């Protein structure tokens, strides 16, 4: 018998939910884990690896490992490996195919159809691209639903007998999204969505890394950030400390002083919740503007919100839940694991449909699905960083919209400025999609920073972007008009991609636990030094030998030993 599933196809992780005996459940993957990293890597012999093994290879094989492609859905961006290129739809299809196979193995049934979630800010192009990805993966999409809607369904808020207003706050690893929903008799309307595409849990780690490195300099006389190894180790330690501070009031963070002639010296710095809160204050205050914007666009006051739902792993931080309580004057709902609410909600939607219950899920306003901006040069003292992406219209801005930003000349006597226009969410322009460029001439000679130009972006509902560039001192204006590139696959291309995916070699499912254990160990090996590295190297050799000898019980034992060592060093 074929069955249906709900899929949260996330930027960092993806999950599959099903409804069993009236309860939403998350299905485990081939490794027994509930989250599958949305990562794809091509192995040395051309086989495709998806999930944790692929993510672990991001460090050891960066040129053949792809992540974060959800951010480029609906664009023409291509990801290259040797002579082969992949569109974001194709990489998403590889993830979906793995999710489908794992779900079939977990349920012992074929998967017929799926409900797949998409961000509320996804426009038509990105929704179309998500459907195409499903088709390429051989998965029939019953319906796409909005992620905040799914989170509300997971909490059963659609069953309230009176109309209900909900704020969904989604703080993931790299992004923050806010949605205001109204539920009236089977209709869920997303009245507003806003966000910050460059704020997430990783920024909270970065704040700890910088503060603790300064402390290490002061107390122990060295900066762990001086080399890649020290930085990577401190990052891991701070990531762990951040998560542990969600449960504990105080933690100790290991800082390693690399020793060229003697073993690395392990030192610890204490960190408590109050200190962390202080360090995170600037980031916490950046959560306010998107919330205010979403409430304003929806035309409601915080008191009018009936429920606040927290989604995304970083909302586990007590400081985030406290902020939500204070802002809305009520404790947020957080009984469902914040990483799982969206997938659970997708499973609820599958069941609603099967039970013939109607639920309309609509987005009330069109918003910009990508950030639009220009390339700039940033000065840091004497150092200059170019190719920096400076957004003018942020993703989630209600359309039509018009915004202006002022820029100044970067060098003395600069007579012209090349304005390059990009769309995307990456901090460097080279990772975003270039839409066009224009060279603005006739800037009067002056010292660097003395002449200014205003760049105005006007974006309408048809996807036409008008860029007006004005030299402030002369008032002279030039205009560049950019029509959105289609970024869409034709039915023939989808069919071709489906066939080419079928021709790819996939890593066998049953070998994934071994491959993943090795990939995780390899990745950690590059970060370790001294005796720890030797110990890990020995465990990896023992595991490889066991794999060659093919005795399943010895393989399992060596794998458990290796994984225990990896966990200990990541600790």
74 binds ligand AMP (CB under 6 A): no
Question: Contact 149/290 with Cβ under 8 angstroms?
Answer: no
Among 8, 196, 202, 297, binds ligand AMP (CB under 6 A): 202
Among 242, 293, 558, 559, binds ligand AMP (CB under 6 A): 242
Question: Contact 407/452 with Cβ under 8 angstroms?
Answer: yes
Cα-based torsion angle of the residue sequence 324, 325, 331, 335 in order, rounded to the nearest 10 degrees: 30
- Cβ-based nearer residue to ligand AMP, 257 or 273: 273
At its nearest, how many Å lie between ligand AMP and the CB of residue 237?
A: 13
Strand 164-171 to 176-184 pairing:
antiparallel
Q: What share of the chain is helix, strand, coil (3-state, %, to 5)?
A: 40, 30, 30
- Cβ-based nearer residue to ligand AMP, 8 or 43: 8
Question: Which residues, 6+ apart, have CB-to-CB distance to 376 below 8 Å?
Answer: 386, 388, 389, 390, 407
Question: Which residues, 6+ apart, have CB-to-CB distance to 532 below 8 Å?
Answer: 264, 569
Stretch that binds ligand AMP, among 89-97, 310-318, 384-392, 539-547 (CB under 6 A): 310-318
- Cβ-based nearer residue to ligand AMP, 198 or 242: 242
Q: Which residue has the tokens 């150092």?
A: 383
Count of residues of this chain found to bind ligand AMP when the rule CB under 6 A is applied = 17
**Strands, DSSP E only, in 443-485?**
452-459, 464-471, 477-483
- Which tokens belong to 379? 């000065």
- C-alpha 478, offset from chain centre: 36
Mind giving me the DSSP string for 233-274?
Answer: HHHHHHHHHHHHTTT-SEEEEEEEE--SSSPPEEEEEEEEHH
Stretch that binds ligand AMP, among 314-322, 364-372, 453-461, 522-530 (CB under 6 A): 314-322
At its nearest, how many Å lie between ligand AMP and the CB of residue 207?
A: 12
196 binds ligand AMP (CB under 6 A): no
At its nearest, how many Å lie between ligand AMP and the CB of residue 67?
A: 12
316 binds ligand AMP (CB under 6 A): yes
Among 59, 105, 187, 243, binds ligand AMP (CB under 6 A): 243
339 binds ligand AMP (CB under 6 A): yes
**Site map 151..190 versus ligand AMP, x via CB under 6 A:** ---------------------xx-----------------
Q: Which residue is nearest to ligand AMP (CB)?
A: 201
- Cβ-based nearer residue to ligand AMP, 182 or 202: 202
Among 17, 74, 312, 424, binds ligand AMP (CB under 6 A): 312
Helix ranges (H only) for 108-200 are 124-136, 147-154
At its nearest, how many Å lie between ligand AMP and the CB of residue 266?
A: 23
Stretch that binds ligand AMP, among 215-223, 237-245, 284-292, 505-513 (CB under 6 A): 237-245
CA angle (523 as vertex; 521, 528 as ends), nearest 5: 85
- Cβ-based nearer residue to ligand AMP, 310 or 350: 310
At its nearest, how many Å lie between ligand AMP and the CB of residue 439?
A: 40
- Which tokens belong to 198? 């460059």
- Cβ-based nearer residue to ligand AMP, 4 or 198: 198
Among 4, 6, 7, 13, binds ligand AMP (CB under 6 A): 13
- Cβ-based nearer residue to ligand AMP, 203 or 451: 203
Alpha-carbon gap, residue 108 to 64, rounded angstroms: 33
- Cβ-based nearer residue to ligand AMP, 283 or 539: 283
Which helix (DSSP H) or strand (DSSP E) does residue 106 occupy? Answer: helix 88-107
Alpha-carbon gap, residue 424 to 359, rounded angstroms: 32
Stretch that binds ligand AMP, among 195-203, 377-385, 492-500, 532-540 (CB under 6 A): 195-203
To the query of whether residue 147 is one of the catalytic residues in this protein, the response is yes
At its nearest, how many Å lie between ligand AMP and the CB of residue 314?
A: 4
Active-site annotation holder among 72, 135, 142, 170? 170
DSSP state of 445: P
At its nearest, how many Å lie between ligand AMP and the CB of residue 400?
A: 31
**Residue 289: other Cβ atoms inside 10 A:** 13
To the query of whether residue 70 is one of the catalytic residues in this protein, the response is yes
Among 3, 246, 433, 563, binds ligand AMP (CB under 6 A): 246
Stretch that binds ligand AMP, among 91-99, 251-259, 313-321, 502-510 (CB under 6 A): 313-321
What spatial distance separates the first Cα and last Cα of the chain, rounded to whole Å?
44
Q: Which residue has the tokens 């972007």?
A: 465
Alpha-carbon gap, residue 235 to 219, rounded angstroms: 19
Dihedral sign, CA of 85, 89, 95, 99? negative
239 binds ligand AMP (CB under 6 A): yes
195 binds ligand AMP (CB under 6 A): no
Alpha-carbon gap, residue 65 to 81, rounded angstroms: 9
Active-site annotation holder among 89, 132, 147, 425? 147
Stretch that binds ligand AMP, among 125-133, 180-188, 197-205, 520-528 (CB under 6 A): 197-205
DSSP state of 460: -
**Residue 32: other Cβ atoms inside 10 A:** 8
Say how many CA atoms lie within 13 Å of 28 toward its Cβ: 6
- Which tokens belong to 419? 């304005």
61 binds ligand AMP (CB under 6 A): no
Alpha-carbon gap, residue 63 to 116, rounded angstroms: 29
Among 111, 314, 469, 539, binds ligand AMP (CB under 6 A): 314
Active site residues: 8, 70, 147, 170
Q: Which residues bind ligand AMP (CB under 6 A)?
A: 12-13, 172-173, 200-202, 239, 242-243, 246, 312-314, 316-317, 339
């Amino acid at each position: 018998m074929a069955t249906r599933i709900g899929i949260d196809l996330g930027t960092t992780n993806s999950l599959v939910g099903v409804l069993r005996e009236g309860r939403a459940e998350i299905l485990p993957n081939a490794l027994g884990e509930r989250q599958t990293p949305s990562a794809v890597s091509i192995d040395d012999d051309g086989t495709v690896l998806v999930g944790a093994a692929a993510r672990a290879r991001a460090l050891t094989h960066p040129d053949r490992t792809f992540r974060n492609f959800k951010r480029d859905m609906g664009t023409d961006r291509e990801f290259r490996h040797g002579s082969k290129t992949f569109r974001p739809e194709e990489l998403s299809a590889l993830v979906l195919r793995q999710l489908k196979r794992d779900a079939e193995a977990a349920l012992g049934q074929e998967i017929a159809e799926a409900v797949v979630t998409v961000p509320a800010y996804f426009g038509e192009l990105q929704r179309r691209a998500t459907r195409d990805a499903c088709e390429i993966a051989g998965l029939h999409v019953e319906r796409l639903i909005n992620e905040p809607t799914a989170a509300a369904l997971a909490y059963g808020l659609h069953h309230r007998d009176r109309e209900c207003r909900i704020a969904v706050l989604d703080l993931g690893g790299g992004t923050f999204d806010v949605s205001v929903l109204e539920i009236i008799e089977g209709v869920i309307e997303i009245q507003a969505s806003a966000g910050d595409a460059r704020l997430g849990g990783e920024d909270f780690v970065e704040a700890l890394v910088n503060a603790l490195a300064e402390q290490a300099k002061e107390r122990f006389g060295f900066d762990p950030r001086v080399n890649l190894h020290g930085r990577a180790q401190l990052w891991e330690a701070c990531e762990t400390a951040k998560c542990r501070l969600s449960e504990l009031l105080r933690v100790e963070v290991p800082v390693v002083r690399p020793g060229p002639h003697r073993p690395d010296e392990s030192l610890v710095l204490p960190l408590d919740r109050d200190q962390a809160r202080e360090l995170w204050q600037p980031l916490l205050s950046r959560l306010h503007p998107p919330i205010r914007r979403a409430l304003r666009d929806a035309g409601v006051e915080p008191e009018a919100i009936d429920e606040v739902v927290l989604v995304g792993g970083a909302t586990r931080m007590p400081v985030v839940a406290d902020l939500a309580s204070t802002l809305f004057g009520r404790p947020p709902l957080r009984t469902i694991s914040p990483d799982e609410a969206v997938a659970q909600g997708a499973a609820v939607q599958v069941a609603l449909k099967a039970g013939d219950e109607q639920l309309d899920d609509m987005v009330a306003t069109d918003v910009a699905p990508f950030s639009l901006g220009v390339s700039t040069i940033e000065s840091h003292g004497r150092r200059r960083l170019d190719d920096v992406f400076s957004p003018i219209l942020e993703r989630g801005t209600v359309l039509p919209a018009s915004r202006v930003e002022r820029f100044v000349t970067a060098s003395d006597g600069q007579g012209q400025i090349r304005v390059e226009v990009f769309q995307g969410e990456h901090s460097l322009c080279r990772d975003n999609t270039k839409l066009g460029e224009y060279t603005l001439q006739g800037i009067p000679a002056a010292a660097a920073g003395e002449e200014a130009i205003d760049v105005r972006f006007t974006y309408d509902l048809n996807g036409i972007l008008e860029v007006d560039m004005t030299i402030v001192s002369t008032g002279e204006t030039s205009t560049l008009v950019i029509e959105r590139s289609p970024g869409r696959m034709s039915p023939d291309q989808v069919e071709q991609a489906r066939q080419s995916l079928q021709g790819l070699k996939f890593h066998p499912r049953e070998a994934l636990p071994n491959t993943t254990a090795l990939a995780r160990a390899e990745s950690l090996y590059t970060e370790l030094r001294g005796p720890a590295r030797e110990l890990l190297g020995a465990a990896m050799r023992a595991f490889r030998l066991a794999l060659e000898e093919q005795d399943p019980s010895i393989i399992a034992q060596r794998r458990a030993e290796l994984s225990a060592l990896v966990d200990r060093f990541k600790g």
